[in-house]
Amino acid sequence: MKPYAYAGGTAVVTGAGSGIGEALSSALADRGSHLVLVDQHTDRLDRVAAALRARHPGLDVVTVVADLADHDATVALGVRLAAEHPGTTLLVNNAGATVGGELAELTLAELDRVLEVDLRAVISLTHGLLPVLLAHPGAHVVVVSSIFGIFAAPGQVPYVTAKFGVRGFAEALRHELAGRVGVTVVHPGGVATRIAADAAVGAGTDGAAFDVTRERVSRLLRITPDAAAAAILRGVERRRGRVLIGWTTARLPDLLVRTLPGTYGRVLEVFAGSRLDPR
């Protein structure tokens, strides 16, 4: 496939109100893409959109407030976006949620919410927009997984399950759409987003202990969202199937898993106690 062309296309970005989603939206606007920004936080979304409209008055910047944990509403959103934005050439599935706690400490509702946002919403929105993307040869889909889509960390069973799931979804879809629509799966590690601050705490989890872990993990988030966005968009333009972000927090763990697929958990014991996504 030819390199992806940003200028003049329309990009749908979920989780656009902060972090990687906000940085991607800004970088896409700089490259001439019209934008449909999706987030559940109205205030964050309005702030991002206002800044982009002021900086790029010639671009269309549409905002959509949506809770991707609502399955039926998300399915309807995919159909709606396809109908209202037939010029869509790029879908960035970036929104994510996590909950801290071991499986025995979580309710099924807490587990299901993470699976809904991080896995099912990705599938639903991609499915809804796929006819539009297929109508534009050379369109592209981005799925933001995590380094936890490569190695399985304790204390994050719902998140790991979802991120392994979207990795498989993206890889299978890439093979299925080869030559028609590009697909990139992204594995960020150590990116300074709100994932730690916004993480929910399981109903049976020790909140005080979790706060200590939250603070410790937050100190590992050193890659800027702008740097992450730049890496993702380079990967999209070059039609890369996979983008790893962060040497010590992504590339090294990836190498570890490939080298010790059945026993890498012993190495991870050094970092025992971490219960948050280092995205």
Question: In whole angstroms, what is the distance from residue 206 CA to residue 101 CA?
Answer: 8
CB atoms inside a 10 Å sphere around CB 6: 20
Write the single-letter amino acid at 35.
Answer: L
Token pair 């990009």: residue: 11
Structure-derived torsion over alpha carbons of residues 13, 18, 24, 29, reported in degrees to the nearest 10: 80
Question: In whole angstroms, what is the distance from residue 202 CA to residue 80 CA?
Answer: 33
Helix axis angle, 19-30 to 42-55, nearest 10°: 20
Residue 191 contacts residue 221 (beta carbons within 8 Å): yes
Q: Which helix (H) or strand (E) holds 215?
A: helix 207-218
**Residue 146: which of 49, 219, 74, 246 has the closest Cα?**
246
- Active-site pick, 4, 6, 159, 264: 159
Residue 40 contacts residue 67 (beta carbons within 8 Å): yes
- Check if 159 is active-site: yes
For the annotated catalytic residues, the residue numbers are 159
